[in-house]
Amino acid sequence: MRDIALVRRLTAAALVASFLLPAGLVRGGPVVCTFRAVTGLPCPSCGMTRSWSAMGHGRLREATGYHLLGPATFVAAMAMVAVGDERTASAIQSGGRNRALLGGMAVAYGLAWAWRLMAGWHD
């Protein structure tokens, strides 16, 4: 339960930062992705920080442009923070449904990544 509380607090901090940090700071920031620095290609989650920043400033279209799954993960993070530690723990420990959800998320990230690579990814 302590680990879940920590994850929820870190998630809440990331959400608060998405609202408070100026969008230009995040948009023009340095590349921090090791995969991208080494290969020159985006990793499956490249663009997520900028997407969350755009969501925090109410720019859904821009957020989707940075990462297709950014808005969905932003809303899921807000829900996780809102429901509390016990309900989050219960959802995580729900067995087969949880594995199916995680598998579906992995497939979604893979498809979003493939789409970005095939569409001629640009920063």
Cα angle for residues 40, 113, 35 (degrees, 5° grid): 30
In a domain, 17, yes or no: yes
In a domain, 52, yes or no: yes
In a domain, 76, yes or no: yes
In a domain, 9, yes or no: yes
The whole-number pLDDT of residue 80 equals 85
3-state SS string over 9-40? HHHHHHHHHHHHCCHHHHHCCCCCCHHHHHHC
The sign of the dihedral angle between the CA atoms of 105, 109, 114, 115 is positive
pLDDT in tens, 38-88: 988 888 888 899 999 999 999 999 999 889 999 999 998 998 888 877 777
Indicate whether 26 pLDDT > 70. Answer: yes
| d(C-alpha 64, C-alpha 100), whole Å | 24
Most confident of 70-74, 102-106, 119-123: 70-74
In a domain, 123, yes or no: no
**Domain boundaries, position 81:** 2-118
In a domain, 113, yes or no: yes
